[in-house]
Amino acid sequence: MANVDVQNVRAWLAPDNTRLVFDISAPVEHRIFMLESPDRVVIDVRNAQLKTEFDHLALADSPVSSIRHSHSDGTLRIVLDLKSHVKPKSFDLPPNDQFGHRLVIDLETPSNAVAAQAASATPAATPVNTTAATTTSEVSTPVAVATPPANGKGNLRDIVIAIDAGHGGEDPGAVGPNGTREKDVVLAIARELKRLIDAEQGYQAVMIRNGDYFVSLRNRVLRARQANADLFVSIHADGWKAPTARGASVWVLSERGASSEMGRWLASRENSSDLIGGVGNVSLEDKDEVLASVLLDMSMTASRTGSREVAHIIHSNIGQFARMHKPNVEMANFAVLRAPDVPSILIETGFITNPQEEAQLRTSAYQQRMAKAIMQGIQDYFWQKPPDMTWIAWRKTQGGAVAGGNRTHRVQPGDTLSVIAVRNGVSVSALRAANQINGDQIRVGQVLRIPAG
Ligand SMILES: [Zn+2]
């Protein structure tokens, strides 16, 4: 007898994982196994019947070529025909604010992760060695090498910025009164930031998430470390019970207690992402390992100092155009900031639950300003403290002590020469001279050299 309904199904495609989420009317017993030639994944669900169809799933870019089902003795059998090899995994999720009981099928596709990472690397970087990393399920480390300087000092690497767009997939993050979802807004800002970073010589951006799918908090930290990131920037947009709460904020990790009640609340909220993602009960041991390494690693002190410094600069940059929630950088125990050796900051770009800020966060103009403020902070910080053997460190020794002497700017819609000049602390005439421009004509996409102050 079939007493559980499979009511709906969603698919979330990540570069290294395809997730199918079945909405079910009650908890079910199930088993999952693989069959070969041809390769398929079989899911048997006891006492269940299918009340939905699979036609609407966009699976073209997934390892699944088709989905079939059949019934026998009350057992619903769902068969996923495969076009490439996967490692299947399944678990169930209890109801939350948005959804009821769910059965989750994860299909891991290790090799795709590498391809996706290679595709997202800047063209200026040396080719990524894809063969070395195909056996791991994590994103490979891009080989970050800047163009060697003209004086032949050998290879200097790029400064690598890991950009972490919060939430994704089954986890929308905070939702605004007009339905704006945090996961979408922060991905848009993250992509804009990546564009700005990749346009700068000496910098390279790595997207921790580059689509609408879920990445566990632990894997976000791991990916940043595997990319040898010099900085981890997590981008979020707050939600709060009252619509009056407003203002952007910048956060660094606190091991002991948050600097405010809201900090405690926010940290517990952002950290609960992992429960929604369904990794809570499978990877607690790994989490403890990460925590243990955090506590043991002596380099943590250095990375925390760096975190505070870059957070402070970005806080004041955002404060130039946005209302800030607090006059200073705040502290809370965000799981995603726990990389022991990578300076890590979390930016709440505004309250999506505040109708005014929700409206702002939706606009690409505001998203661009936010990304620029973050980028400017990154550049100012790394010009002050460039890591050894980076192109920026070398450029600083060549270009004297003037911050920004190494910079370029790719013209954005709405930019004018004078705006670019003011923003970079140079005169319009110096900007004209450095780029051989007469008059005021610039075009979108043009890359301008920013002369030393
Ligand atoms: Zn968030």
For 203-224, the pLDDT digits (tens) are 999 999 999 998 888 889 889 9
What pLDDT score does 255 carry?
65
Single out the residue of 49, 27, 408, 377 nearest to residue 199, CA to CA: 408
According to DSSP, the β-strands at 344-351 and 249-253 are: antiparallel
**CA of residue 236 to ligand 1 center, whole Å:** 4
Q: Which residue blocks in 297-412 are alpha helix, DSSP H?
A: 300-319, 355-362, 364-384, 391-399
**CA of residue 163 to ligand 1 center, whole Å:** 14
* Cis, peptide link before residue 63, omega less than 30° from 0: no
According to DSSP, the β-strands at 249-253 and 330-332 are: parallel
Q: Give the residue with greater pLDDT, 269 vs 41.
A: 41
What pLDDT score does 2 carry?
57
Burial (Cβ within 10 Å: 0-12, 13-18, ≥19) of residue 123? exposed
**CA of residue 173 to ligand 1 center, whole Å:** 5
Fold of the domain spanning 4-108: Immunoglobulin-like (2.60.40)
What pLDDT score does 341 carry?
76
Q: Give the residue with greater pLDDT, 165 vs 425.
A: 165
Sequence-separated (6 or more) residues with CB below 8 Å from residue 227: 139, 141, 142, 160, 162, 206
DSSP-assigned letters across all residues of 207-225: ES--SS----HHHHHHHHH
Is pLDDT of 42 > 80? yes
CA atoms within a 13 Å half-sphere pointing along the CA-CB vector of 263: 22
Are the C-beta atoms of 236 and 352 separated by less than 8 Å? no
pLDDT in tens, 247-294: 999 999 876 655 666 676 677 767 766 555 544 333 333 444 444 444
**CA of residue 165 to ligand 1 center, whole Å:** 9
Are the C-beta atoms of 251 and 263 separated by less than 8 Å? yes
**CA of residue 253 to ligand 1 center, whole Å:** 15
**CA of residue 272 to ligand 1 center, whole Å:** 10
**CA of residue 443 to ligand 1 center, whole Å:** 36
What pLDDT score does 283 carry?
32
**CA of residue 427 to ligand 1 center, whole Å:** 39
**CA of residue 183 to ligand 1 center, whole Å:** 8
**CA of residue 167 to ligand 1 center, whole Å:** 6
pLDDT in tens, 170-206: 888 899 999 999 999 999 999 999 999 999 999 999 9
**Residue ranges per domain, the chain?**
4-108, 144-384, 407-449
Furthest-apart CA atoms within the chain: distance in Å: 82
Tokens 């890991």 belong to 162
Q: According to the CATH classification, is domain 144-384 in 3.20.20.120?
A: no
Single out the residue of 112, 118, 70, 54 nearest to residue 87, CA to CA: 112
Kindly report the pTM of this predicted structure.
Answer: 0.70
What are the phi and psi torsion angles at 212 (to 5°)? -95, 75
**CA of residue 270 to ligand 1 center, whole Å:** 5
**CA of residue 288 to ligand 1 center, whole Å:** 23
Sequence-separated (6 or more) residues with CB below 8 Å from residue 170: 10, 12, 19, 21, 99, 102, 104, 214, 276, 277
Equal fold, 144-384 vs 407-449? no
**CA of residue 120 to ligand 1 center, whole Å:** 24
**CA of residue 124 to ligand 1 center, whole Å:** 32
CATH architecture observed for domain 407-449: Roll (3.10)
Q: By three-state DSSP, how is residue 107 classified?
A: strand
**CA of residue 276 to ligand 1 center, whole Å:** 13
- What is the pLDDT of the chain when averaged over all its residues? 80
**CA of residue 222 to ligand 1 center, whole Å:** 19
